[in-house]
A = this chain, B = another copy of it.
Amino acid sequence: VAAAPNSQANPLIRKLESITDLTPEERQALLALPMRVHDVRADQDIVREGDRPSQCCLLLEGFAARFKFTDKGKRQIFAFHTPGDIPDMLSLQLKTMDHSLGTLTPCKLGFIQHDHMRELLRQHPGLTDVFWRDTLIDAAIFREWILGLGRRDAKTRVAHLFCEMVMRLRAVGLEQGNTVPLPLTQNEVSDALGLSTVHVNRTLQALRGENLVEWDKGVLTVLDWKGLKLTGEFEPTYLHQDREHLAA
């Protein structure tokens, strides 16, 4: 089944089709989903902890992150988001945000009213399963991060993060050769991996020294995918990018 003309250009559809199959009707309905598109500059909060949003936001271009601060003012990043993600889809079910969402780079965002989203799901109940599945994969990624934070050392964590980002960016067509965009600062990585910026810097030097990766000007180049997977203990099952779940 060929995709609708512009569906490959639509990162949401691209993303959902990386984890499930959509019917033509579902694809059509997603393309017709009303949204207000805005450009937002880097380092802006989109929703904050405590907010009660009446819309959710589709990331069309750029990188975003979800995060929260400790009482002592330390930041922890929970997730990096890439085009096609709806990072605050959960606000449809959970009224109060328990964490914040912000841009890391300039972003193009599509804001979707909850009412419109609910109407979409009412008319296409199959999409509820799709989005439910997507939030479950989100949770699987959280678990993998828990494993890393709890039981893996710095080098393994960094390598694992790189592998994960490559796989996810590949799934939405942002990989070019052995290269993906990864416009994060070392400080942002450290806040995601529970490390200090200094230590992340030194760990990167180690990975570079072993000729596993190159990471410069927001572009990550994988020099040795096998080696990177090995040092990152990366096993992509948890991303559930296969679609074999459809075979009963």
Q: A240-B94, A245-B93, A245-B95 are in contact. Are A68 and B147 (CB under 8 A)?
A: yes
Output the nearest chain B residue to A138 by Cβ-Cβ distance.
Answer: B139
Interface size on A, residues (CB 8 A): 49
Say which residue of B76, B139, B143 sits within 8 Å of A147 (CB atoms): B76
Q: Which residues of B contact A140 (CB under 8 A)?
A: 90, 94, 98
Output the nearest chain B residue to A67 by Cβ-Cβ distance.
Answer: B147
Besides the contacts A95-B244, A95-B245, what 12 more A-B pairs have beta carbons closer than 8 Å? A68-B143, A71-B233, A96-B240, A99-B238, A132-B132, A135-B136, A142-B143, A146-B146, A146-B149, A149-B149, A149-B194, A150-B191
Check if B151 sits within 8 Å of A76, measured CB to CB. yes
- Contacting residues of chain A (119-171) with chain B, CB-CB under 8 angstroms: 125, 128-129, 132-133, 135-140, 142-147, 149-152
A48 within 8 A of B: no
Q: A68-B147, A70-B152, A143-B78 are in contact. Are A128 and B136 (CB under 8 A)?
A: no
Question: With the chains together, A63 CA to B194 CA distance in Å?
Answer: 29
Check if A150 sits within 8 Å of B98, measured CB to CB. no
A172 within 8 A of B: no
